[in-house]
Structure 1
């Protein structure tokens, strides 16, 4: 039996915490300072975590390697299994031209590019985050916005800022599911607690997007659309996260938000605008008749009204069919009889080599149980949806297979990164390194409630994934909260909520956004565009978590 030590370095908690933090420090330095590729940085940090576990915490090498393999297995399934199948569906739509039809359909919704930006980046981007995550919404939405006339830098910034509110339940609930696996807390409990934090942020994200799109004038003229988009999204997100399945939270919220804005447009239109040229020699910007340039003075939008591309009813059906199929299948999967039938196929495996691992208090760890829901998992449902999409749209088998092959090739680096980060988290959690760090942070007392969301923000900012951040810091948050008197569930939820705000400034997502619009190498400029939004929302979240901790 291996029992985790809390202070293995001479009984000194401070020195033990310093050594326990070395793998995380190495990972963050390699990613954030030395710009090492994510997959290589993750593997090097994992190797250091194994060394610390064996040499400092005296964890047997076979047990350490068993934990490494379980973490990597969880990274492969369900994490990458979800991402691969979601991106495969998108890849098929690109190869068949249906993505262009989808883009044309959005261009017909409104002639106002600011409203188009909110619907595409916020509502449709949330749907993509719900289905895929891992940078896909940023890349897809940025390309669509450029195609509709936004300057590339502005399009990438809008896509990055919009990709915040849905992140906590992205990839069909994967961050919350991972947090549950890491902490041993029920998924439903964590989802309900997170629903007290993230929807509050969602209220303001569309309004911030309007400022980014068109300065103060955009907020002044189009605030009804932003308010409707944010409030309906937040309400739907809160209700489904609190009372429904985590897999459907952002799917429902995105559809409700888009539908509410479309309904609003039947009764309200933004102020008319005319096109003028940016004096600096850029693309066109919106200006009300007789008015001045937008308050930020930047090149903003193409002319307010352009003819919508021709699109037949059949083309619209093809464009939206993949997403309708996905929504239908996930809705079907949560019906009680179907859910029970799918759950009966789930296999719970006690991972070999880990059955004798105990906490410092002598209790068994939930991490030793590996859940293999091969049929009920979100990735399998997405795979079925992709097959149905190919069949209903008569996509040739060769095209579908080639798209899957291309997807696997494109994501091979991401797969290594996700598997290595989760293996790192499992080694640290099983060996006791996370518990040591938690006890050390517990020394912050009541102030830890302010630090809690910052940890999640920092983790996602460095790794580019709220799932990875929950893997790294989920158990740490719970351990530290138990030492400070803060609610462990609130601390875990704060990690997820903080993580959603780190997504927009992470090097990984900045690189995706810049590359998608042809601005590779200008990630620093893009960071400056989105930094203000993160600087506004992060302190607000810290205050919200602190206030909630006072009433618990």
Structure 2
């Protein structure tokens, strides 16, 4: 039992640093890395050597490159669009399309945000949505919270990359994991819609727009489930967003006039450009094969590859160039956006780096395995209730569904087999809880606070969004119990 309690110390330390001492995410991650590596090296409970320490640092750094590649160009695109007044144009269009501020929020967060997240991932949707909400008059803290909750399509972010990798690691078919995750996510989509409604307007908004939000959340859940089962896991989030947009348009009398607005068509050109590029790269086999086989960074001994031309980061970069061209931006403006990007991207990238390294150290030192196996042994079939918590903790710490699945999905499946329950159920719980807990990841919260220019409120934001994420885990656990009863 002593190794078990020692294995929990790094997680408890991170929580204390973030919530007790209120350190920023990157500082808490750095302290956590130093402490955890020291504990693994100098306590007798973990057979961990200095030579082994190099591997988590190497692996974590390589994994962070994937995230940094996207974040840098995502933030740069935001600043370019902001400098070109695109954000202002979109905010004006949404405000003019309906006089109802609550409906404006619903359009942005339940339709547009999941679409962007499905096609780009890594929280890019939050970078886009939060500034528009602020421009529409939403209080900055509320805007960040709402934009974080709007990241409801994370299981299918970047066309389901985390789900695909999770299926490979868990020895499941992609369709099986996708359908199971969609089933568990169905009630969470409704929960997110209602939470967004409450954040935007309180109880009065819940009363006046309940059915609108309920139908939007339900349509997202049902369409994602059907697309996973009958069409494609990778495209489920994209078409789910289109379905939600159609549902919300039904509540608007001037929907035909909206489609004819020339200013908004011009403002949407960069987003449409990005969407088209991503769709073509995923749907045309020959093009996909070319992009995956050229310009690839490979580290064979770690089974690591970064396809530079296939990554969303590359298409974000092309969209940045496209934006500069169509809006004829001047050199001075471009230089200013680069400066702002460097300033805002650095703390986010370092926070991501340190948290991924921390998770790799815990995995290499077998801390995560000890936690999972001891918990499974003591709880037996009740481990099913803890499974979403483990997945959620992985998403919270790493800010990446891919990284979280890499840490925990094998252990979740093995623990389920060990105690005789369905390994598919724990895989669903891991993938779903991990994805939806990312909204409370310190790196995501830091990114939101940075974009909204309220860094002093980072810890307050973290507390509030963590409560919402805990509510999400409760919803997932209830759904998991229902699935266990129906299909034990």
Question: What TM bracket, shorter-length normalisation?
Answer: 0.7 to 0.9
Given the superposition, is the C-alpha separation of residues 160 and 341 from structure 1 closer, same or farther in structure 2, using an over 3 Å criterion? closer
Structure 2: distance between partners of 1:153 and 1:416: 23
Question: Which of 367, 374, 388 is matched with 2:308 structurally?
Answer: 374
Residues 351 and 443 in structure 2, CA contact (< 8 A), matched pair in contact too:
no
Partner of 2:266: 318
Residue range with higher mean Cα deviation, 536-545 or 149-158: 149-158
1:447-497 CA-to-partner distances (Å, cap 9, x unmatched) read 111111123334445665555644554444334333223333432331332
Question: Which of 277, 282, 293 is matched with 1:344 structurally?
Answer: 293
Structure 2: distance between partners of 1:24 and 1:529: 19
Residue range with higher mean Cα deviation, 331-340 or 520-529: 520-529
State how 1:134-533 maps to structure 2 within 5 Å: 137-138=125-126, 140-152=128-140, 154-163=142-151, 165-170=152-157, 172-173=159-160, 175-176=162-163, 179=166, 189-242=176-229, 248-266=235-253, 313-335=261-283, 336-345=285-294, 349=298, 351-352=300-301, 368-396=302-330, 399-400=333-334, 402-443=336-377, 444-461=379-396, 466=401, 469-470=404-405, 472-503=407-438, 521=456
Structure 2: distance between partners of 1:118 and 1:176: 26
- State the SS of the aligned residue for 2:212: helix
Higher normalized helix content (fraction of residues): 2
1:81-123 CA-to-partner distances (Å, cap 9, x unmatched) read 1222222222210111111111112123211112111111222
Structure 2: distance between partners of 1:371 and 1:418: 19
- Does residue 66 (structure 1) correspond to residue 15 (structure 2)? The answer is no
1:382-404 CA-to-partner distances (Å, cap 9, x unmatched) read 22333333334433466446534
Give ranges in structure 2 of 5+ residues lacking alignment. Answer: none
Given the superposition, is the C-alpha separation of residues 34 and 472 from structure 1 closer, same or farther in structure 2, using an over 3 Å criterion? farther
Partner of 1:358: none
Structure 2: distance between partners of 1:523 and 1:429: 28
Partner of 1:40: 27
Q: CA deviation at 1:347?
A: 5.1
- State the SS of the aligned residue for 2:357: helix
Residues 461 and 502 in structure 1, CA contact (< 8 A), matched pair in contact too:
yes
Residues 486 and 549 in structure 1, CA contact (< 8 A), matched pair in contact too:
no
Residue range with higher mean Cα deviation, 392-401 or 451-460: 392-401
- State the SS of the aligned residue for 1:144: helix
Partner of 2:111: 123
- State the SS of the aligned residue for 1:265: coil
1:192-221 CA-to-partner distances (Å, cap 9, x unmatched) read 332221133113432343344444543443
Partner of 1:543: 478
Partner of 1:89: 77
Report the aligned-residue RMSD: 3.6
Q: TM-score, normalised by structure 1?
A: 0.75
- State the SS of the aligned residue for 2:99: coil
Residues 193 and 217 in structure 2, CA contact (< 8 A), matched pair in contact too:
yes
Structure 1: distance between partners of 2:397 and 2:261: 44
Given the superposition, is the C-alpha separation of residues 168 and 317 from structure 1 closer, same or farther in structure 2, using an over 3 Å criterion? same
- State the SS of the aligned residue for 1:371: strand
Given the superposition, is the C-alpha separation of residues 398 and 511 from structure 1 closer, same or farther in structure 2, using an over 3 Å criterion? closer
Given the superposition, is the C-alpha separation of residues 121 and 348 from structure 1 closer, same or farther in structure 2, using an over 3 Å criterion? closer
Residues 438 and 478 in structure 1, CA contact (< 8 A), matched pair in contact too:
no
Structure 1: distance between partners of 2:47 and 2:208: 63
Give ranges in structure 1 of 5+ residues lacking alignment. Answer: 1-13, 269-307, 353-367
Structure index of larger Rg: 1
Alignment size in residue pairs = 482
